[in-house]
Amino acid sequence: MDFVLTEEHRMAQQMVREFVEKEVKPTIKEWDRKQEMKPEILPRMAELGILGINVPVRYGGQGFDYITLALVCEELERVDTTLRVVMSVHMGLNSMSLMQWGTEEQKQMFLIPQATGEKYAGFGLTEPDAGSDVAALRSTARREGDVYVLNGEKTWISLATKGHHFLVFAKTDTHANPPHSGITAFMITSDMKGVTTGDLHGKLGVRAGSTGWISMENAEVPVSHRIGEEGEGFYIAMSALDNGRYTVGAGAVGLIRACLEDSVKYAHERETFGKPIAKHQLIQQKIAHMQQWYDAAQLLIWKAGWLKNIGQRNTRETSVAKWYATDMSVQAALEAIQLHGAYGFSDEYDVERYLRNAKGAVIYEGTSEIHQLMQAGYALGLREDRPLRCELPAYDPEYWQAEAEPVS
């Protein structure tokens, strides 16, 4: 493993950093208060190539590796979590699933317009009565000739009213034993008859983002839109979560950094008892903890990214990275608010928003409790990853950055 970032890594990192500093940071409080997504955000991310950052060039992407994806997510969440959420659902959960499980036809149909930013993508697994217990989902898919008829409702769906393509999961066999073996994955589009979407409001955090629901009522989905085989949906969902968790953890690294940088700045500016609070040892303790959490979380994420680059299964490593980084982002935000004192309790400073945003990440993409159970299972030898029919492709620069061969 090489801890030195390449010129390409730093170029992507700097590009995203400049984008968020100039175009997002000055207005993020306004849109957070409005509880709306800034209309220009998605088109600008598409224009800059961010929405296809680690998709091969032949499929409309930028051809960067998985470490670059982590760096991009860190820079996005350094300013606001809503931007990283876009990458988690559009890139991590959807586009990377197409890279892993999609046929060539499906990549041409869905991946290319997603990578170029022509279409925005989401992910529909969670239901009103099914979250951590994926096998409890109630959406159904019944095959009738060349189509599947889907019925059900998905909730807490990022980009629900902004997205065009959604990777959703439904039961093709409601009597399967075990229950998860009856789940199948499908790509649906927002303009399909029977598909409707709506927004959810009143969230604690991630207010400048789009979160909503998807309803499917006798929606006819072509068989060609089925991702993988019937009954493979659970494994497709779990592999998608490996990628989504990677982006969530990488974003949490950025949130820890935001807390650290804002706290360092405030500690030098604020004076008590005749000296900057940076001179007080208990303030230094808080800063030291944030630095420790940032360094450790970043290294865990980079390890998972390195494993992705070499094509090695990384479910355990991604789980512990997401668990640690998100838990520590909450702790960093709490410490940042405490360090800011009364000012940290108001929205005059960004740290209160950091805390509200951080709290969501210890719930979605597997709660912290789920990740604790996973890690205990690995340590005790009670958990073993089942080999998948399709693994996420390793990063090959020659292939990733090569243009598609012309069709003869």
CATH number at residue 24: 1.10.540.10
Q: How far apart are CA 201 and CA 212, in angstroms?
A: 8
Residue type, 32: D
- Mean pLDDT for the chain? 97
With H, G, I as helix, E, B as strand and everything else as coil, classify residue 65: coil
Which of the four pLDDT bands, split at 50, 70 and 90, describes residue 406? low
Q: Is residue 83 within 8 Å of 75, Cβ to Cβ?
A: no
> What residues have CB less than 8 Å from 365, skipping those under 6 apart?
88, 241, 244, 245, 248, 322
Q: How far apart are CA 366 and CA 374, in angstroms?
A: 10
Which of the four pLDDT bands, split at 50, 70 and 90, describes residue 1? confident
* pLDDT tens readout for residues 202-238: 999 999 999 999 999 999 999 999 999 999 999 999 9
Mean pLDDT within 243-253: 98
Q: What are phi and psi of 216, to 5 degrees?
A: -120, 115
- Beta 140-144 vs 211-222: how paired, if at all? unpaired
Q: Are residues 142 and 220 in the same domain?
A: yes
Cβ neighbours around 204 below 10 Å, total:
10
For 118, the token pair is: 């022509």
Q: Are residues 63 and 105 in the same domain?
A: yes
Cβ neighbours around 224 below 10 Å, total:
12
**Domain-embedded: residue 400:** no
Q: Are residues 376 and 252 in the same domain?
A: yes
- Catalytic (active site) residue 365: yes
Question: CATH no. for residue 302?
Answer: 1.20.140.10
**Domain-embedded: residue 177:** yes
Q: Are residues 186 and 81 in the same domain?
A: no
Cβ neighbours around 344 below 10 Å, total:
23
* pLDDT tens readout for residues 168-200: 999 999 999 999 999 999 999 999 999 999 999
**Domain-embedded: residue 22:** yes
Among candidate residues 246, 269, 265, the one with its CA nearest the CA of residue 257: 265
How many domains would you assign to the chain? 3
Burial class (CB in 10 A: 0-12, 13-18, 19+), 170: buried
Q: How far apart are CA 262 and CA 179, in angstroms?
A: 48
Residue indicated by tokens 């950055």: 401
Query: Which of these is catalytic: 75, 232, 335, 365?
Result: 365
* Residues of the domain holding 228: 123-234
Q: Is residue 56 within 8 Å of 102, Cβ to Cβ?
A: no
Question: CATH no. for residue 163?
Answer: 2.40.110.10
Which of the four pLDDT bands, split at 50, 70 and 90, describes residue 252? very high
- The pLDDT assigned to 404 comes to 74
Given 234, 267, 302, the domain boundary residue is 234
Helix axes 351-361, 315-340, angle to 10 degrees: 150
What does R_g of the chain's alpha carbons equal in angstroms? 21
With H, G, I as helix, E, B as strand and everything else as coil, classify residue 213: strand
* pLDDT tens readout for residues 39-87: 999 999 999 999 999 999 999 999 999 999 999 999 999 999 999 999 9
Q: Are residues 374 and 356 in the same domain?
A: yes
Q: Are residues 18 and 70 in the same domain?
A: yes
> What residues have CB less than 8 Å from 129, skipping those under 6 apart?
136, 138
> What residues have CB less than 8 Å from 323, skipping those under 6 apart?
366, 368, 371, 372, 375
